[in-house]
Amino acid sequence: MTDIPLARITELKRTLGGREKRFDCAVLRRTASQVTVLFVAPEAMHVHGVNLPAGTVTFGHFWTDRPYNVYHWLDARSGATLGLYVNLSAETKVSDHVLEWLDLIVDILILPDGSVTVLDEDEIPADTIAALRSCISDAKALVLAGLTGLVAELENDRTQLWPTVGA
């Protein structure tokens, strides 16, 4: 990994149920409406059938003007894409030291072979208000309709950013 000191930011993920998770990340790129962060997994994870070994590199892409964010999982040795995990989200805010977002439950997993799986729709509580259901549905439709462009954008970012952090 890079020896260049990068600014730090805390990713604060909030759930609809009020829980919070925090991740210490490095800032790779920041614009007025987007931030890309680096997170290296300290331990192995298994996420919806994808094995992510300890050391897996994640480029987290967050936008304040899009209803989703993306975890781009990368092989620590080669930088090859292991998967793209799209979190439908809302209320993304970025300050100097905190990146905060609301997880809208539904996720979309995109694998290198091109397979796409919509996840966790069954976890939306039955009493979810219609406006929130509509927000989730609209965000899902936006991601699925723009999938080819989104994957190309993220692969381009990977190509540009990997040399700054790769082994």
In a domain, 117, yes or no: yes
In a domain, 1, yes or no: no
Task: Indicate the number of domains in the chain.
Answer: 1
pTM of the model: 0.95
In a domain, 31, yes or no: yes
97 touches 30 (CB < 8 A): no
CATH of the domain at 151: 2.40.380.10
Quote the CA–CA distance of 160 and 163 in Å, as a whole number.
7
Local confidence pLDDT in tens for the 167 residues of the chain: 555 568 999 999 999 999 999 999 999 999 999 999 999 999 999 999 999 999 999 999 999 999 999 999 999 999 999 999 999 999 999 999 999 999 999 999 999 999 999 999 999 999 999 999 999 999 999 999 999 999 999 999 999 999 988 75
What's the domain range around 78?
A: 8-165
In a domain, 3, yes or no: no
Contacts of the segment 149-156: beta carbons below 8 A, 24+ positions apart: 150/70, 150/86, 151/84, 151/110, 154/59, 154/61, 154/70, 154/72, 154/84, 155/81
